[in-house]
Structure 1
Amino acid sequence: MKILEIDNSRRFLKLSIECEEDLWILYNVIKKGDIVYARTSRELKTRSGSKRKAMILGIRVEWAEFQPFTTRLRIHGIIVYGPRELDLEGQRHTLSIDIGSVITMFRESGWVGIDYERIVEASKKITIPVLIVSIDDEEYCLAIVKGYGIQVISEGYLKLPSKFETTSRSSALRSSIKEILNQIADLMNRYGLKILIIAGPADVKEYLYEEVKSDKRFKDAKIYIENTSWSGVKGVYEVLKRGTLIEVLKDHDLVIEEHLLDEFMYYIAKDPRYVAYGIDDVEFAAQSRAIKKLMVISDLVRHPNEETRKKVEDIIKLAEKQGAEIKIFSTVHETRLKLKNLGGIAAILRYPLDRANT
């Protein structure tokens, strides 16, 4: 989650949603009476029939829920802001918030206390350990993506000779690229980064991409390439708005899910008392204050059966209070199927639980 903007009174808060855990946090902090602004679409009647029109609406929240069988959070309420010419105020509308959505939230009393703390805590995490390099034949910028935005590490100019000086220009470009490659390698090693996005408007990014791909120092890195209109810092911010970053988020989520499942299988083989799986077993572990890491498929969080959904929500909230690491498995990954075979919910425990005496 990124905090994109907050006003001095702390009543308006603009956020970018990066993962399913962000949707879970929103679900828990949004209260009835808050106003949420987001891009949406609405069916409008016309003389020739009806058509769906994209717009930004603000609604006063009445309730929020996870939509079954999707990754979306539905927020329902009364429209308080919309295009004046459409006269929509006072009508009901439901916003669908998903990974990649940008929303603005307003709370009359201000964003303070535990709700604000949960949002800030989520924004501080380096949710995606990724380095962005934005480059063309004039300038470059290296920046690390963090929960609250980007941290520019290095930027500069290539200072290449004129395009008419072919030989000297090629030599200078090779020298500049070599220097930038060394910077990339140093940053990825120093910060433990495994994901690299190379962006830019011209063919210099292609050259850098091929050099990175052939460099053994980056053999374990996941490398993406993105076309942008700008280079330098502007290009980095342009990448943040593009689809590539969403793909990076999904790929990184998959790696985390695989590592958690590997750890779970290690403990189940070594000593099954250190794990719990299935709703009833995990509920017992939560009530015993034993959960260290909790894994839940998103299907359970938005289960159509209210009783099941409520039980899963209570387990997650209880585990959160105990400081457990929570991971909601996405519906788009194969890891979800593996967790589903374990009952859709599983936990790695702080200490062994012996169920025989319960």
Structure 2
Amino acid sequence: MKLLEKQIFPDKSGMVKIFLEQPDDLWLVYNLIAVGDVITSQTSRKVNSKNQSRVNINLEIKVTAIDYSKGSSVLRVRGKNRVVNEHINAGSFHTLELEKNKEFTLEKKVWDTKAMETMEDGHDGVVGYDLGVVLMEEGLAHVFLVGNNSVSKHCAKIEERLDPKTGLNKFFESVLHAFMKHIDWNMVRCVVIGSPGKIKAEFHQYILSEAQRSSKLKSIENKKSCILLVNTNSGKENCLNEVLHNITVTNFIRDTKASVEIKAMKEFTDLLSSNSDRACYGLKSVEAAQELSAIKTLMITDELFKNAEIAMRKKYTGLIKSVKEAGGKALVLSSMHVSGEELAKLTGIVAVLRFPMPELDM
């Protein structure tokens, strides 16, 4: 995304004007916008129900809800209009759609540390992907990209009834088409094919054979050493987590943000089951642990962090700062990554402790 204008004042209030250059900018903006912010952008509205005529207007809304799903090309922001014009009343609710090639202004009462980091990370940066993943079983496949920004993107679902005459070949052809459409071999570090049984090996052999026959698939031939085969329970979407916890896969992406978060969540869940006095979850318990500088690693979901009231955002920001000043690590996990989804099920805020604290009430 391109930063067109920036005005941040000493009290941390201020505005930025942003231009969305590519669809992947939407997840950055999704993490940047919070309930209570003010968005200004141009949109069109129907003004005459008889002839369906529309006019372009500038809409300024105070955000009440944000709607964005993985892989979507549009981010919808709903809120209350703040400016009267001849077509729209102040106080009425409207939805702005943000998408590629759209310009908008974002105002915040407080630009906290996380918001500033998100903006700087996205400003004129390229959203890249470290990992391509194909999950499959007979007749079903999913294609994913896992980003250097710790976001997992569901690119395609392939579901076909197998023809007894052609066997798996037609299905493999469809999967390969989606595979090549969404995975840029010049960008990803490796591609993982995950499945139960032997179908992953059969698909692997199929794509290597096709690569030798077609110059359009030369990238597969050149990168065949970067293809990993991993056992999974099924080819269903939820098995992405199994792939990301596979030790061979994590070694390929070990220095990425996604890998750091995966390892941190694994350490927490392992401790929760084997040494629960060194793990805690819930804001009350986490705050009590930090009062004694007991937190080794703090993890919080971006959803919890950005959707809270300003007072709560300041509390979370202060908690992160306190943990870092005490020598601990603080991670804000994306809700659009499997680690963030896992964290959300555990109240959205957890901590790995330096020493046991059995007295914490969770």
Give TM-score scaled by structure 2 length.
0.45
Give TM-score scaled by structure 1 length.
0.46
